[in-house]
Amino acid sequence: MFAWLNQIVQVSWMNLKNIPQRAGASLVIVVGIAGVVGVLTAILSMGAGFRATLGNAGFEDRAIVMRNGATSELSSGLSREQADVISGAPGIRRDANGKPIMAAELLVIADLPKASTGTLANAAVRGVQPGSFLLRPEVKITQGRMFNFGTREVIVGKQAAMQFSGLKLGSRIAFRDSDWSVVGIFEAGGSANESELWADAEVVQSTYRRNGFQSVSVALENKSALKTFKDALTADPRLQVKVSTMKQYFAAQSEVMSKLINVLGYSVGLIMAVGAIFGALNTMYAAISTRGREIATLRAIGFGAMPVLVSVLLEAELLALIGGAIGALLAYLLFNGYTAATLGSNFSQIAFDFRVTAALMGQGMVLALAIGLIGGFFPAWRATRLPVATALRAE
């Protein structure tokens, strides 16, 4: 066993030291694998970023109430009376004055020009109440000020301000035949709320000629209070509603898009990986065939076929590892934090940052090693199966 290991170490060390002398062939493997890992990681980072953005808005001690059967806020509807009934349910956390921390909100769409193309796109306008801010303490005004209730003033989420033109602090925007002033820019901990415009719910209602709301969000006393809250609402004959934690709600919202991105990512990654495997195979075959006589000489002298095989594989894996690391690093440097926008399930733009996470980079490295293993194994296997006497005569 020791002799066997010793042979592996000796032959591998010799091979590795000589990689610079085979720079061209080695570079082809490294670049090919870097490309696969880079593209796969970048595509999947889109899904990770999208999930994180929607997931950020979801906390387990917050609940959202919508009409039964609604799949998103846009398809939901609750009357003022229903909102009042919900506010009296048990399980809602209360503020210092004993008032329930909750907000009945409506979500409407405004057509605004996109900053990138100038074409009109759907911007989400959320009509909020004072409770909306208590519910979401992560919302912070970073520029300007809070809007005054009862006026046509809006505050704009950080991502929305970047995605749409004309949403700079102090600018005036027109939608639904009315003029609105942008008085503040806010952040919301990287959540989907950052892609929205917030204004007084009552003013939004009057502008859009609506009476009711679309959802009621509440802060729960704690995670376990959800059951009390939910049971009370579902048992109430005046309400036909569904209750979910915000985490559940946003998970459901992001599901379709995440799946799409993952399917896209993995299928593109798979196609590229197959290409890279053949590329690596080709290169490794070429590399091994030029060293066929070297390998045969080593075997004639007394080195075993297995140590030679393992050493060639180690070389392939090292190159794959370097390629994988370069690909993952490039994906990180180029795409981590890159902002993109897509249509959310409320038919409004949701901006999100690509997230090149450690897990994704790890996944890329595993793929790189798999390509190296497959690409290296067959030529190495062939080289060591060839009879020594035949291989010694090979040119």
Query: Is residue 109 helix, strand or coil?
Result: strand
Please select the residue that binds other proteins; options are 268, 294, 334, 342, rule is CB under 8 A: 294
Cα dihedral 64→68→71→77 (10° resolution):
-70
Residue 45 C-beta: closest distance to other proteins, Å: 40
Is 6 an interacting residue with respect to other proteins (CB under 8 A)? yes
Percentages (nearest 5) of helix, strand, coil residues in the chain: 55, 20, 25
d(CA 80, CA 107): 15
Considering beta carbons, is residue 4 or 347 the nearer one to other proteins?
Answer: 4
Sketch the per residue contact string, 21 through 40, with other proteins: x for CB under 8 A, - otherwise: x-------------------
Helix (H) or strand (E) holding 362: helix 358-385
Considering beta carbons, is residue 169 or 392 the nearer one to other proteins?
Answer: 392
Is 381 an interacting residue with respect to other proteins (CB under 8 A)? no
Considering beta carbons, is residue 19 or 27 the nearer one to other proteins?
Answer: 19
| Residue indicated by tokens 């503040």 | 184
Considering beta carbons, is residue 251 or 392 the nearer one to other proteins?
Answer: 392
Which range, of 39-47, 63-71, 300-308, 311-319, touches other proteins by CB under 8 A?
A: 300-308
Residue 293 C-beta: closest distance to other proteins, Å: 6
Class of residue 170 by CB neighbours under 10 A (exposed 0-12, middle 13-18, buried 19+): exposed
Is 388 an interacting residue with respect to other proteins (CB under 8 A)? yes
| Residue indicated by tokens 């992560």 | 138
d(CA 161, CA 115): 9
Which range, of 10-18, 57-65, 192-200, 251-259, touches other proteins by CB under 8 A?
A: 10-18
Considering beta carbons, is residue 26 or 132 the nearer one to other proteins?
Answer: 26
- Could you please report the per-residue DSSP string of 180-197? EEEEEEEE-TTSGGGGEE
Considering beta carbons, is residue 252 or 392 the nearer one to other proteins?
Answer: 392
Please select the residue that binds other proteins; options are 303, 338, 378, 381, rule is CB under 8 A: 303
Is 293 an interacting residue with respect to other proteins (CB under 8 A)? yes
One-letter amino acid at 69 equals: G
The sign of the CA dihedral 292, 295, 298, 300 is: negative
Residue 299 C-beta: closest distance to other proteins, Å: 7
Kindly provide the b/e burial profile for residues 286-306, where b requires at least 16 CB atoms within 10 angstroms of the residue's own CB: ebbeebbebbbebbeeebbbe
d(CA 357, CA 359): 5
Is 1 an interacting residue with respect to other proteins (CB under 8 A)? no
One-letter amino acid at 6 equals: N
Which range, of 11-19, 89-97, 278-286, 345-353, touches other proteins by CB under 8 A?
A: 11-19
Binding site for other proteins (CB under 8 A): 3, 6-7, 10, 14, 17-18, 21, 293-294, 296-305, 387-389, 392
